Amino acid sequence: MAAGGFPPAYFRKHLAPAVLFCLLLTAFPAGPGLAQSAVEPTPQPSQTDTSGTTPAPGSSVRSPARDDLLSTVGVTCVFGPKTSEADARRQCFLKARSRLTVKMAEQVRGAASSLGLDLSDEELFAFTLGTMRVEADREEIEPEKDGFVIRLTGRAVADLAGLRQKLPFYAQNQDVRAAAVAQWRAALSEAELAARSAGDPAEAQAAKTRRAMVDTARFAERQLRLGMSQTDVRGLLGEPGAWTQGASGENFTCLGYGDVWAVFQNGELACLRTRLEYSRRHESQCHCSGRLATIVLGVEPQ
């Protein structure tokens, strides 16, 4: 039996690749903390310059700046009142981390290409996730009427020299790549689950608009009657979101209300339909002809 009670064959097939990937990440010096900026290396006052002269009092010779890869993203997460602040912060961080991984992977792709290495997108994402360091650079929590909003700026840092050391080994070992991809997929699934809880304002607004469109269509089906004037319909549904005219001489006018179109002929409501369809007969899409499945009120004129 192998270590931990696993059969040798199971260990070689399932655990060894993951162990190799972990060794890959620890085989080289780790990157610096985010507080140690590559732009401001730690001063080394005891060093001398290449000419052998001693630095003047009050001055210092700085060590060469390391070539780090940097990336930032901003995310906005919306939560309801039932989500705790700690859980919400974690979910928003996972959302930022997944976006940072994809964004940073483009820079890693450049490093791999410079070494003549060809990796798939998923392999690049997996390698990037395992080698970059991510922190919340800025976080704001604002209460809302039905919950709260978190605005987070995430920052990722990766040591370019370290990446160039690790990439060849990673590219040459299929088992290591497979283990890394498995970890990436697990992280991505976790981030996608978090994203469903951490709503996006644009998506929430789109869903709200969609619900309003459906509600308007249902209201129109219940309240509108054939023969109503445009003034009557506007009084019930308000101003339309869109409108169009029929072909010249047919006197059709179509007013769009979300998922439904009110079609008038000669100033009176002739039909209510779910979509407009172009007809050669009418030389227009504004009419009451076509498939009966699209007409919810009114009958196609003879």
Which residues of the chain have a pLDDT value below 50? 2-3, 10-11, 28-64, 300-302
| pLDDT given at position 66 | 62
Structure tokens at 111: 């490093």
Q: Which of 163, 92, 94, 96 is nearest to 124 (CA)?
A: 163
| pLDDT given at position 59 | 44
Distance of CA 57 to the CA centre of its chain: 52
Encode pLDDT of 113-171 as tens digits: 999 999 999 999 999 999 999 988 889 998 887 888 899 999 999 999 999 999 999 99
Residues 6+ apart with CB under 8 A from 64: 41
| pLDDT given at position 18 | 56
| pLDDT given at position 111 | 92
| pLDDT given at position 58 | 45
Rounded-to-integer distance, Cα 227 and Cα 199, Å: 44
| pLDDT given at position 216 | 67
Encode pLDDT of 226-235 as tens digits: 999 999 888 8
| pLDDT given at position 194 | 67
| pLDDT given at position 49 | 45
| pLDDT given at position 281 | 86
| pLDDT given at position 242 | 84
| pLDDT given at position 157 | 93
